[in-house]
Amino acid sequence: MTRDAHEARSRTGRRSGDSGSKVAILAAARLQFAEYGYDGTTIRGIAAAAGVDPALVHHFYGTKERLFAAATELPIVPSEAINAALASREPGRSLGTHLAYSALALWERADMRGAFQAMLRSALTSEQAAATLRDFIAEAILGPVASAAAGADAGNAAYRASLVATQMLGLAVGRYVLRFGPVAQASKEELAVAIGPAIDRYLTGDLGQAGRGH
């Protein structure tokens, strides 16, 4: 039996029951992420606060990252988007250039732009939102990026990924928030080829004598 048929069958209106549970789970998730941050929040804790079984939260959302994306109205799941970008590189294009272009294309998707900028602004104005976003970025975004860098220099992967994050974050703030003329007007391709080699160097290049030991 399909899930739809199963839901439609329910005598007590399972669809609206599901919908009520989803609303309760999302409301609980927003409160818990805001109060405990990304790392400090668990599926189990959200389920308890929403008065449902943890299995139902898993059934609806799968992972904490997907639940966070839903709670913050992010229309993508970042780790999945990054892994898709990492897997779709054309031959002859550097990883840095490809990642820069993929990020710009994602940020400029019609359904992403508002969500991304709202998240950026809220993180930049609230210490708690910043901490939550930092932990989320560290797990969902820097994790996959660090894996891409790890081949070259495993011990430094987290440092390398966070250097990549500084360049990509500054690109986003400069292009969408402050809107520096030439960077706001450049095409995605222009920016990708300008910034790509810096990303490549952060991922796998020589970071200088003082860069050792991370």
CB of 74 to a copy of itself, least distance (A): 17
Helices 78-87 and 64-71, axial angle in degrees (round to 10)? 110
CB of 21 to a copy of itself, least distance (A): 33
Give whichever of 112 and 131 is closer to a copy of itself, judged by the CB atom. 131
- The CA distance from 131 to 39, in Å, is 9
CB count, 10 Å around CB of 8?
A: 12
CB of 28 to a copy of itself, least distance (A): 25
CB of 17 to a copy of itself, least distance (A): 39
CB of 204 to a copy of itself, least distance (A): 13
Give whichever of 88 and 125 is closer to a copy of itself, judged by the CB atom. 125
Give whichever of 47 and 196 is closer to a copy of itself, judged by the CB atom. 196
Helix (H, G, I), strand (E, B) or coil at 37: coil
Give whichever of 71 and 161 is closer to a copy of itself, judged by the CB atom. 161
Residue written as tokens 């008065």? 51
Residues 6+ away with beta carbon under 8 Å from 138: none
Residue written as tokens 């599926």? 43
Residue type, 96: G
Residues that bind a copy of itself (CB under 8 A): 97, 120-121, 123-125, 130-131, 133-134, 137-138, 142, 158-159, 162-163, 165-171, 173-175, 177-183, 186-187, 189-190, 192-198, 201-202, 207-211, 214
DSSP 155: G
- The CA distance from 44 to 114, in Å, is 30
Give whichever of 53 and 190 is closer to a copy of itself, judged by the CB atom. 190
CB of 182 to a copy of itself, least distance (A): 4
- The CA distance from 121 to 194, in Å, is 26
Give whichever of 115 and 131 is closer to a copy of itself, judged by the CB atom. 131
